Amino acid sequence: MLVKICGITTQEAADTAVEAGADFIGFLFAESKRKIAPEDAAAIAASIPASVKKVGVFVNESLENMKHTAEIVGLDVIQLHGDEPSEVAEQLPYEIIKAFPATEKALQNLKKYPCNYCLLDTPSKKSRGGNGIAFDWSLLDTLHLDRSKIILAGGLTPENVKDGISKVAPAGVDVSSGVETDGKKDINKINRFIANAKHTRKDDVS
């Protein structure tokens, strides 16, 4: 099970996630309380091993800015978390994670989008992700999606991640606010989230 810890802003949180077995470390470069400057992300990224992929999260950003930030930080993956058309993804020389709000209409477009992974998040009018609210996972039962490309996000916590994996059978899971306490990354929660996610085998799902 792939695990992405997103919204990293400190060296301690990054080190904890890496040591616990995270596969992706996410830096947010869009407006948010978790936004980080490229130079600060680069300083943290310098100690992340090559086996852990560094993800930059952008919302409706220009191609030039995304490429420039990716070069500064040394990103491996770009996550498009806005309304970016497929042409944007096709012009980025990086692995792509495309976020989709978990609505039936939005998910119909998922199959045609050129990306390595599709991140399914809780729909929100206020902000893009990081809302701490889970969507109705049963929505996916009616859609014939390639589960090997799905990263489940939205309201996951150390307590419910096993249930989410069991019901959705995704390739990976993504968390930000679910491993925070008072708006800050919680070392204990990061460790518990990754342990619980990694100890749930997809082939055990009935």
Phi, psi of 129 (to 5 degrees): 80, 175
Query: What's the confidence (pLDDT) of residue 125?
Result: 57
Q: Which of 13, 50, 18, 28 has its CA nearest to residue 128?
A: 28
DSSP class per residue in 128-159: SS-------GGGGGGS---GGGEEE-SS--TT
For residue 32, what are the contacts with CB-CB under 8 A and spacing of at least 6? Answer: 7, 127, 130
Q: What string of pLDDT tens digits covers the 206 residues of the chain?
A: 999 999 999 999 999 999 999 999 999 999 999 999 999 999 999 999 999 999 999 999 999 999 999 999 999 999 999 999 999 999 999 999 999 998 878 887 788 899 999 999 988 755 555 556 889 898 888 778 889 999 999 999 999 999 999 999 999 999 999 999 999 999 999 999 999 999 865 444 43
CA distance 36 to 149: 27
Pairing mode, strands 117-121 and 77-80: unpaired
Query: What is the amino acid identity at position 192?
Result: R
CA distance 27 to 55: 6
CA distance 67 to 79: 12
CB 172 within 8 A of CB 165: no
CA distance 108 to 38: 34
Catalytic residue among 6, 23, 76, 118: 6
Token match 């930080």: residue? 73
Catalytic residue among 118, 121, 141, 146: 121
Enter the tokens of residue 27: 């830096």
| Domain 2-204 CATH (choose: 3.50.30.50, 1.10.3720.10, 3.20.20.70, 3.90.1150.10) | 3.20.20.70
118 has catalytic annotation: no
CA distance 186 to 204: 29
76 has catalytic annotation: no
